[in-house]
């Protein structure tokens, strides 16, 4: 197979085949990413087209392909501390005409995880993985209908730890960091364990929490979550600059989402604002028949266990408060 | 043997991609090996791609960096030697 055969295909995952690392591709050119998560779109497409087969390429093919893609350049990036409204924000971006919103694509998340686990002292692997990440995003932003004008990428929460490296890849792309009160975030994560806390490659969380694999094996979920989100807040506080916007969950409203769009350089039309207002009333992570969104800060605060409160106080509250001060301009 | 850039061509089996404001990565599709190029190596590589002579590449060097022509010539020659050692270029 010659590499040009893959034009219009999308990298749906980063995989290892027969010991060779590379990408799994699926011909989903022209498919709208209407589901809250990229993987949900891929799953829907696979279910509707069971006859289509994936193709595998090693990464060197990606470097060749990058030059051939006709793609939309990234408009804005969404980072978050998990369970804090970032999916709602990504869904709101979909209301913009010509927007392509790619939410937590596995190939990007896994390559960024390699930036955590595989980099070497002389920086060659860092550059290599960065080139791969850039190329994968370019592949995901390929024009299909020709009407695509904006590309928004929502990263997985653990990617926050690699924010500085991601900024080196795209120094001029504006980004928003969305976060929430640590106790409320932890209650949500502990009640319904997310994939990032269950990741079998414990090197990622060991790096994020600045501990060891052995150390995190001894931690409760509450402690691990508190340390991780504390790290995300601290990273946002350290790296935030004039290309970034800090946004607390408790600010989220249609008007504030409009401000985020403006920050990304996009002015929503009146009809798009109506859609944003409507979508922000839905539960964001359900792809269809969405139940109505219900504010749950009070319930989560009341549901917090003593352990959750203790771990939040020890590992997350201080960086959260510092980040809030930065957002509010309090020295 | 002293090589001149004019008799070297970049391999068709080599892909280059820019990164980080002037640096780059070369991919040898035959060996599937990757090479990291710093800014100066990228100047030489791009010069080869454009079919420039060694003196033209040296001129690119000296216009970008405060370096004497003799020293720049030596640096370019060393980089050309390395490219040939790794079979990234071939004598045309």
What is the pTM for the complete model shown?
A: 0.91
The answer for residues whose C-beta is within 8 angstroms of residue A198's C-beta and 6 or more apart is none
Point out the least confidently predicted range of A49-53, A137-141, A151-155.
A49-53
Per-residue pLDDT, averaged over A172-194, amounts to: 97
Q: Give percent of chain A with pLDDT exceeding 90.
A: 79
- Is the pLDDT at A3 greater than 70? The verdict is no
Q: Is a pLDDT exceeding 90 seen at residue A162?
A: yes
CA distance B13 to chain A (A): 10
Interface residues on A facing B, Cβ-Cβ cutoff 8 A: 58, 60, 63-64, 66-67, 123-124, 127-128, 130-131, 134-135, 168
Residues of A in contact with B23 (CB under 8 A): 127
Say if residue A287's pLDDT is above 80: no
For residues A204 and A329, the answer to whether their CB atoms sit within 8 Å is no
**Which two tokens mark A138?**
């370019």
For range A20-32, the mean pLDDT: 90
Number of H helices, E strands in chain A: 16, 8
d(Cα A46, Cα A49) in Å, to the nearest integer?
Answer: 5
DSSP secondary structure, A263-321, as one string: HTT----HHHHHHHHHHTTB-TT-SSSPPBP---HHHHHHH--HHHHHHIIIIIHHHHH
Reported as a pLDDT band with limits 50, 70 and 90, residue A172 is: very high
pLDDT at A316 > cutoff 70: yes
A160 within 8 A of A79, measured Cβ to Cβ: yes
Per-residue model confidence (pLDDT) at position B2: 43
Residue of A nearest to B25 (CA): A128
Residue B1: predicted pLDDT: 40
Per residue in A15-36, is it b (16+ CB within 10 Å) or e — as a string? beeeeeebbbbbbbeebebebb
Q: Name the pLDDT band for A171 (thresholds 50, 70, 90).
A: very high
Residue A306 has pLDDT above 50, yes or no: yes
Residue of A18, A65, A114, A127 best to disrupt the B interface, most CBs of B under 10 A = A127
**Residue B19 and residue A127: Cβ atoms within 8 Å?**
yes
- Between CA A134 and CA B8 the distance in angstroms is 31
**What ipTM was estimated for this complex?**
0.83
* Per-residue pLDDT tens digits of chain B, which is 92 residues long: 444 566 889 999 999 999 877 899 999 999 999 999 999 999 999 999 999 998 999 999 899 889 999 999 999 999 999 999 999 998 86
Q: Tell me: the pLDDT tens digits for A85-115? A: 999 999 999 999 999 999 999 999 999 999 9
Distance from CA of B32 to the nearest CA of A (A): 7
CA-only gyration radius of chain B, Å: 12
Summarised one tens digit per residue, pLDDT across range A36-81 is 999 999 999 999 999 989 999 999 999 988 988 999 999 999 999 9
The chain-wide mean pLDDT, for chain A, equals 92
């Amino acid at each position: 197979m010659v590499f040009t055969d893959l034009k219009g295909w999308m990298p749906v995952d980063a995989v290892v085949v027969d010991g060779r690392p590379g990408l799994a591709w699926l011909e989903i050119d022209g498919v709208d990413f209407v589901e809250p998560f990229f993987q949900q779109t891929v799953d829907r497409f696979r279910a509707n087209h069971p006859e289509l087969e994936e193709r595998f390429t090693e990464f060197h093919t990606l470097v060749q392909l990058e030059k051939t893609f006709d793609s939309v350049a990234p408009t804005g990036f969404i980072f978050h501390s998990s369970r804090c409204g970032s999916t709602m924000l990504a869904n709101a971006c979909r209301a913009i005409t010509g927007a392509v919103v790619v939410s937590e694509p596995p190939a990007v998340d896994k390559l960024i995880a390699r930036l955590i686990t595989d980099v070497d002292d002389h920086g060659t692997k860092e550059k290599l993985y960065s080139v791969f990440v850039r190329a994968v995003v370019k592949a995901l932003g390929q024009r299909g209908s020709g009407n695509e004008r904006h590309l928004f990428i929502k990263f997985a929460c653990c990617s926050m730890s690699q924010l500085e490296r991601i900024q080196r890849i795209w120094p001029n792309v504006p980004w928003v960091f969305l976060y929430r009160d640590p106790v409320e975030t932890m209650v949500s994560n502990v009640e319904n364990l997310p994939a990032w806390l269950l990741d079998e490659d414990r090197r990622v969380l060991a790096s994020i929490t600045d501990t060891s694999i052995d150390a995190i094996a001894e931690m409760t979920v509450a402690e691990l979550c508190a340390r991780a989100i504390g790290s995300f807040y601290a990273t946002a506080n350290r790296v935030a600059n004039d290309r970034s916007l800090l946004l607390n969950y408790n600010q989220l409203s249609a008007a504030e989402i409009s401000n985020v769009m403006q920050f990304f350089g996009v002015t929503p039309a009146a009809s798009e604002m109506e859609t944003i207002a409507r979508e922000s009333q839905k539960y964001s992570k359900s792809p269809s028949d969405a139940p109505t969104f219900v504010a749950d800060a009070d319930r989560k605060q009341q549901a917090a266990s003593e352990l959750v409160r203790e771990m939040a106080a020890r590992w997350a509250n201080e960086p959260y408060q510092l980040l809030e001060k930065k957002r509010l301009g309090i020295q | 043997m002293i090589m001149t850039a004019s008799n070297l061509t970049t391999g068709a089996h080599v892909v280059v991609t820019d990164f980080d404001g002037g640096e780059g990565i070369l991919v040898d599709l035959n060996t599937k090996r990757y090479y990291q190029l710093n800014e100066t190596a990228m100047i030489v590589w791009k010069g080869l791609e454009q079919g420039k002579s060694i003196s033209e590449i040296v001129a690119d060097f000296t216009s970008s960096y405060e370096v004497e022509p003799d020293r720049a010539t030596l640096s370019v020659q060393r980089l050309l030697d390395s490219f040939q050692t790794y079979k990234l270029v071939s004598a045309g």
